[in-house]
């Protein structure tokens, strides 16, 4: 009964609103404006209960691998006996608080320094492992501590390099290429002609590609001749005596020997 009473009151308010509006229309534009502005019904949009997500761009620290590599190369080439050399000044500019080496005999500088690993150890702190290769075949590994600023745009070497053991060889899984492909078969011949065009410029590469596939030859051509040594397939169809039907796909691993003016190079 209470709900019915409220519903009846609402209907009365609607009828009164309509009556006021019609009266205002009959009274002219001024009365109409007053009626519209003073309408009895007010609609308010309910605020959303779902929180608003604000995305802010945060600076990501850049990997200081190259920075540590440059420092280690300069540090290994510098000496306390010549603190004003270009390499010593470079090492000090990258790591102001790190002492220079003090060699007793003639210093043997590395032929090259290459970063092999970088690991972020905390907020802005990195450890970069680099390998120093010498002309006599020696290979020494060092880890360089580096700190980056909040923006990731500035770095500083915070300590002397540490001598560490090199990375061990990872276990290698079994190769999926186990099917031996005959060297005198159509597939081996096609592969050999393709690499001849791709690496020596003998013929057009496009004639060996499927429709729609684009592949530019190596330019300038690095080798004069290429000979196929062994072809292994992942599917048995690669070793079929006859050419399979159109659309048959096989994956192959090809071992070739490429020759140039400097010698012969085993490639895969």
pLDDT tens digits for 66-103? 999 999 999 999 998 888 999 999 999 999 999 999 87
- How far apart, in whole angstroms, are the C-alpha atoms of residue 131 and residue 46? 65
Q: DSSP letters of 77-141?
A: T--GGGTTSHHHHHHHHH-TTPPPP--SS-----SEEEEEEEEEEETTEEEEEEEEE-TTS-EEE
Residue 153 counted as domain residue: yes
Print the domain residue range for 238: 179-267
The full DSSP string for 156-181 is: EE-S--EEEPPPPPPP-PPPS--EEE
Q: How many domains does the chain have?
A: 3
CATH number of the domain where residue 108 is located? 3.10.450.540
Contacts of residue 50, Cβ cutoff 8 Å, sequence gap at least 6: none
What is the per-residue pLDDT for 24? 47
Burial class (CB in 10 A: 0-12, 13-18, 19+), 117: middle
Task: Give the model's confidence band at 151: pLDDT under 50 very low, under 70 low, under 90 confident, else very high.
Answer: confident
Average pLDDT score, the chain: 82
- How many C-beta atoms lie closer than 10 Å to residue 182's C-beta? 14
In a domain, 15, yes or no: yes
Q: What is the mean pLDDT of residues 238-259?
A: 91
pTM of the model: 0.63
Q: Are 151 and 225 members of one domain?
A: no
Residue tagged 């009626």 (tokens): 35
- What pLDDT, on a 0 to 100 scale, did the predictor assign at position 155? 93
Tell me whether residue 214 is in a domain.
Answer: yes
Report whether 147 contacts 97 (CB < 8 A): no
Q: Are residues 22 and 86 in the same domain?
A: no
155 located within any domain: yes
């Amino acid at each position: 009964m209470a709900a019915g009473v409220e519903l009846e009151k609402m209907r009365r308010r609607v009828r009164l609103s309509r009556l006021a509006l019609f009266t205002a229309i009959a009274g002219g534009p001024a009365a109409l404006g007053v009626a519209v502005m003073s309408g009895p019904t007010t609609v308010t949009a309910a605020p959303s209960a779902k929180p608003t997500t604000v995305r802010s761009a945060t600076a990501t620290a850049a990997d200081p691998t190259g920075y540590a590599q440059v420092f280690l190369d300069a540090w290994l080439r510098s000496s306390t006996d010549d603190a004003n050399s270009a390499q010593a000044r470079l090492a000090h500019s990258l790591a102001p608080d790190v002492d220079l080496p003090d060699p007793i005999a003639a210093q043997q500088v590395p032929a090259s320094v290459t970063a092999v690993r970088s690991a972020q150890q905390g907020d802005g702190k990195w450890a970069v492992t680099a390998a120093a290769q010498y002309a006599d075949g020696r290979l020494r590994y060092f880890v360089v501590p580096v700190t980056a600023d909040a923006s990731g745009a500035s770095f500083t070497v915070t300590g002397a390099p540490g001598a560490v053991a090199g990375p061990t060889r990872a276990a290698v899984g079994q190769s999926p290429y186990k099917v031996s492909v005959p060297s005198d078969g159509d597939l081996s011949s096609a592969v050999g002609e393709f690499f001849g065009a791709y690496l020596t410029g003998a013929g057009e590469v496009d004639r060996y590609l499927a429709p729609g596939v684009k592949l530019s030859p190596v330019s300038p051509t690095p080798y004069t001749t290429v000979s196929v040594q062994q072809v292994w397939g992942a599917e048995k169809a690669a070793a079929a005596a006859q050419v399979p039907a159109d659309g048959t796909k096989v994956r192959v691993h090809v071992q070739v020997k490429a020759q140039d003016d400097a010698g012969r190079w085993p490639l895969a």
